[in-house]
Structure 1
Amino acid sequence: MWPAIFGATNVVALAGWIILLALPRRPFALAGVLYLGIGLLSLIYAVLLVLLATGSVDGLHDAGAAPFDLANFSLSAIRSSFHSDGVVVLGWTHYLAFDLFVGLWIARDADAKGFPRLAQAPVLIATFLAGPFGLLVWLAVRERRARVSGRWR
């Protein structure tokens, strides 16, 4: 079950990234990324979170690993939680949803500020591969144009 969910979430996210990188940014395409990409990944995440937190599904813990505990945010508890296929898929889905959301925001912001698609591509790829790094690059790149145009949004 976990490998199938993992694979499905990767396909959903990859489709969203392909739309952002390669297709014209029409309202329908952007809505697809938002609702069919980010929305679907967020729904999968929410369902998995509830199922794992309530013990309704087995996260397939390694022998001797502590069960998933939402209330314990210590480093050892989080490390122990990731000894579960279910929690790894949950965490990966979290990354996919948020990185795609950030990519969508970058693409829309870059379009609004007049950045050519070719200049956006490296930032979007960086966000796809290493979310916060790509976001940091975009924040640095956009700042000057945002300041010049007086548009901080």
Structure 2
Amino acid sequence: MSWGMIYLIANYWAIAFWLLLAFAPRGPRILSAVLYAGVFLLCLAYTILIAGFLTGGIDPGGAGGDFMSLEGVMKLFAAPGGATLGWIHYLAFDLFTGLWIARDADNKGFGRIAQLPVLFLTLMAGPVGLFLWLIVRERRARKRANAG
């Protein structure tokens, strides 16, 4: 299977679970599906691929690339396999972060309309969405503490 195909499968897989997270009713089955069928399988794919790379069984390209220097990482990411590995890494962590944000927002009484921009930012630029959520949730927590 080509790196391009692996990239597409992982990308569409993650998008399907982001759509569930954003628009499906958030019962235990949906949340478990996002965690185990979404995040877990992306993590499994990454683990298999990175283990293959680190043991020499899989060559992602990017000759001379490594994780020990910026130049080495740039070489890895310049190759299709390295970029695919990095992308699956982002997909898994961003989806997990989105799941945590959605659960936390539900528990704090935020409606879906308020959650959607944060989830979208987390999908598109993970740390930006998480940063925004941490600010918003802190303000809500302070309001509740001051009211009580």
TM-score normalized with structure 1 length: 0.89
State whether residues 61 and 76 of structure 2, in contact with CA within 8 Å, keep that contact through their aligned partners in structure 1.
no
Matched, 1:94 2:64: no
Q: State the 1:146 CA deviation.
A: 1.9
State whether residues 42 and 97 of structure 1, in contact with CA within 8 Å, keep that contact through their aligned partners in structure 2.
yes
State whether residues 49 and 85 of structure 2, in contact with CA within 8 Å, keep that contact through their aligned partners in structure 1.
yes
Most deviating of 27-36 and 141-150: 141-150
Partners in 2 of 1:129 and 1:122 — Cα distance? Answer: 10
Find the counterpart in structure 1 of residue 100 from structure 2. Answer: 105
More helix as a share of residues:
2
Quote the RMSD (CA, aligned, Å): 1.2
Give the letter for the 1:86 counterpart: G
Deviations 1:35-71 (A, max 9, x none): 000000000000000111122122133xxx31x435x
State whether residues 60 and 76 of structure 2, in contact with CA within 8 Å, keep that contact through their aligned partners in structure 1.
no
Runs of 4+ off more than 6 Å: none
Find the counterpart in structure 1 of residue 10 from structure 2. Answer: 9
Give the letter for the 1:69 counterpart: D
Find the counterpart in structure 2 of residue 35 from structure 1. Answer: 36
Number of residues paired by the alignment? 144
Give the letter for the 2:143 counterpart: V
TM-score normalized with structure 2 length: 0.92
Q: State the 1:149 CA deviation.
A: 3.6
SS at match of 1:130: helix
Give the letter for the 2:29 counterpart: F
Structure 2, unaligned runs of 5 or more: none
Identity of aligned residues (%): 51
Structure 1, unaligned runs of 5 or more: none
Partners in 2 of 1:39 and 1:149 — Cα distance? Answer: 34
Deviations 1:12-35 (A, max 9, x none): 110110011110001000000000
Find the counterpart in structure 2 of residue 119 from structure 1. Answer: 114
